[in-house]
Amino acid sequence: MREELRNKLTGGGGASKKGGSDLPDPSSFAIADGETEAGPGEDYAAEFEQQQQVQMMREQDENLDEVFQTVGNLRRQADDMGRELEEQREMLEVVDDLADRVGGRLQTGVEKLKYVMRRNEDRLSSCCIAVLITVLIILLVLLLIL
């Protein structure tokens, strides 16, 4: 057992060589000077990147279409609200004109009532005074006779 452990640590022995031969040589991954990284794997990465960008652009287009529809809906709602407000403004103008007419008629009616009341107050008070004077004269005549 100690021997096997030593062989594994020092890199010697038949069992460790078999396990070590499965791994690729690290120098095979090195890029030589003057070479570019463009190779068969690089074409795949570029194609994948392009597909990702196309997919993102499609998603953005879909999102923009949804935003466009939402803005269109908001515009239609705003137009409807504007028409409704215009109709209500016209109705309020009609109601205001009618209220002014009714107010004028009420004012005229109140003035007429005040006039009638003043006229009636003068006549009633004059009649009352006349009746009181007549009663006083009758009482004086009765006092003098009796």
| pLDDT at position 2 | 73
Tell me which residue range forms the domain holding 88: 51-118
Question: Could you give the number of structural domains in the chain?
Answer: 1
Joined tokens for residue 53: 């960008």
Residue 28 confidence (pLDDT): 66
Q: Give domain status of residue 40, yes or no.
A: no
Q: Element (H or E) spanning 143, and its range? A: helix 40-145
CA distance linking residue 45 with residue 51, whole number of Å = 10
Q: Does a structural domain hold residue 90?
A: yes
**pLDDT beneath 70: ranges in the chain:** 11-42, 121-122
Do the domain assignments include residue 63?
A: yes
pTM for the whole thing? 0.41
- The residue type of 6 is R
pLDDT (0 to 100) of residue 12 = 55
Distance of CA 63 to the CA centre of its chain: 21
Containing 20, the helix (H) or strand (E) segment is: helix 14-20
Residue 83: its pLDDT value, please?
96
Contacts of 12 (CB under 8 A, 6+ apart): 6
* Domain-embedded: residue 18: no
Residue 58 in any domain: the answer is: yes
How far apart CA 1 and CA 34 sit, in angstroms, is 50
Residue 31 in any domain: the answer is no
